A and B are shown apart, each in its own frame.
Chain A
Amino acid sequence: MAEKKTKKKDIHFQKVGGVKKPIPDPFKKKD
Chain B
Amino acid sequence: MPTRFKNGLNNSAPSDDLSELIILDPTKVHSYFNDFDTYTAADWTITTTEAGAGSATEALTDADGGVLLITNDDADNDRDFFNKVGESFLMASGKKAWFKARFKVSDATQSDFVMGLQITDTTPLDVTDGIFFQKDDGDANLDFYVEKNNTATSATAITTVSDDTYLTVAFYYNGDDKVEYFVDNVKLGALATTNLPDDEELTISFGIQNGEAVAKTMSVDYIFVAKER
Contacts and interface: CB of A to CB of B under 8 A. Distances in A.
A27 B42 contact: no
Contact of A29 (B42, B44, B47, B77): B77
Contacts, number: 56
B123 A15 contact: no
A14 B136 contact: no
Interface in B205-225: 209
- Counting chain A CB atoms within 10 Å of each CB, the highest count among B45, B47, B125 belongs to B47
A17 B41 contact: yes
A16 interface: yes
A8 to B, nearest CB: 11
B48 A31 contact: no
Interface residues of B, number: 22
For chain A, which range describes its interface: under 10, 10 to 19, 20 to 34, or 35 or more residues?
10 to 19
A9 B137 CA distance: 26
Interface of B: 41-42, 44-51, 77, 79, 85, 112, 122-123, 125-126, 136-138, 209
Interface of A: 11-18, 23, 25-31
29 contacts: A11-B49, A11-B50, A12-B49, A12-B50, A13-B47, A13-B49, A13-B50, A14-B47, A15-B41, A15-B44, A15-B46, A17-B41, A17-B42, A18-B42, A23-B47, A23-B122, A25-B49, A27-B77, A27-B122, A27-B123, A27-B125, A27-B126, A28-B123, A29-B112, A29-B125, A29-B209, A30-B112, A30-B126, A31-B138
